[in-house]
Amino acid sequence: MKSVTIWTDGACSGNPGPGGWGAILEYNGHQKEMSGGDAMTTNNRMELMAAIASLEALKEDCNVTLYSDSKYLTDSINKGWVFSWEKMGFQKKGKAVPNTDLWKRVLELIRKHEVTFVWVKGHASNEKNNRCDEMAVAEWKRIKAGK
């Protein structure tokens, strides 16, 4: 399996509001930047979409280290919460788990690829996390401006 490193971030203006995500994929000395957004979304949805879009961009099964400043994303995987939600039909305390549609996509992708999720401190001195944040913010600004 190829080893790929992915950096992701999501951002939102208002919560909900226009949002964006950014990702950097690295493989064998090459780097690819990706970004996207949605007109009406939340920060958590954009964090999940950054991971989903970057994993979906991989053309074959890979061994992935995915860095994110989202505790929502990394803790949900690393602490096993999402697997418990799945077993319970994506219900928690009698209510639907937020973002179930995206969590199902995440689960499908992490079962295809071997993914290790690593939390990094956001808005700190991490160059790649900061770049992903810049792309995510640029996306929500673009959407907010109607472009």
Q: Residue 110's domain spans which residues?
A: 2-144
Number of domains in the chain: 1
Mean residue pLDDT of the chain comes to 96
pTM of the full structure: 0.96
Q: Is the per-residue pLDDT at 122 higher than 90? A: no
**Of the candidates 20, 19, 24, which has an alpha carbon nearest to the alpha carbon of residue 8?**
24
Q: Looking at residue 28, what is its pLDDT?
A: 96
Q: Looking at residue 124, what is its pLDDT?
A: 85
CATH code, domain carrying 18: 3.30.420.10
Take residue 135 and report the two structure tokens written for it: 């792309």
User: pLDDT tens, 2-40?
Assistant: 999 999 999 999 999 999 999 999 999 999 999 999 999
Residues designated catalytic: 9-10, 47, 69, 123, 133
Helix (H, G, I), strand (E, B) or coil at 5: strand
Helix (H, G, I), strand (E, B) or coil at 126: coil
Residues 83, 62 contacting (CB under 8 angstroms): no
Q: Cα(139)–Cα(22) distance, rounded to whole angstroms?
A: 8
